[in-house]
Amino acid sequence: MTSQQTPAEIFEKLEKIIQGYILALDGYTDEQFAYKSADDVWSLGQMYEHLYLSANFFFFANTLRCLEQRKGQLGGEKNQYGDNLFIYNRFPPIKVKIPEAVRGPEPVAKTREEYRPLFEKIVDDAQKLIEPITKDAGEYKFNHPVFGWLNAHEWFHNLEMHHRHHLRQQKELESLVL
């Protein structure tokens, strides 16, 4: 099952979510942004860094791989986790551990001021993908390590769902510092 939302509809939701992240930056002090309540809990800054890095080096990169038909394949199926992701239009409402095989080093946060233009660029880059994704046949896919084979439209939708998923974490982290 593929998302029933158009790329333009997905973008509209993504843009609203990212604007919320940008506006929230003004509500944190530098100390709050960097605060870690425990060794295994990210700071708000680390969460922002994760969102920025994953947008650019995971979701956008794999969307483009599908559009450019490189490093993937024609066809392929999502697994049960991938099917459920699109059936329910969201990540499960649980804390997700990134699989060890794809987990990089712990994110190192930038300053609050640095994230505003970086998140605005995510919006700009996403907007530029609406038309190519709309025109894409959706047959070429790239494998997601958790969800299986996704096409450009699904990778793009996954970007929005991922940003929406982290709103729960943002609220939790804010409750520790605000």
| pLDDT by position in tens, the chain (length 178) | 445 899 999 999 999 999 999 999 999 999 999 999 998 899 999 999 999 999 999 999 999 999 999 999 999 999 999 999 999 999 988 777 776 776 778 899 999 999 999 999 999 999 999 999 999 999 999 999 999 999 999 999 999 999 999 999 999 999 999 8
2 in any annotated domain: no
- Structure letter (DSSP) for residue 100: T
144 in any annotated domain: yes
84 in any annotated domain: yes
1 in any annotated domain: no
Q: How many domains does the chain have?
A: 1
Residue 114 sits in a domain of what CATH number? 1.20.120.450
Largest Cα–Cα separation, the chain? 48
- Structure letter (DSSP) for residue 145: T
* Residue 90 phi, psi (nearest 5): -170, 160
95 in any annotated domain: yes
CA 95, CA 92: separation in Å to the nearest integer?
Answer: 8
Domain residue limits at 121 = 7-177
Give this prediction's pTM.
0.94
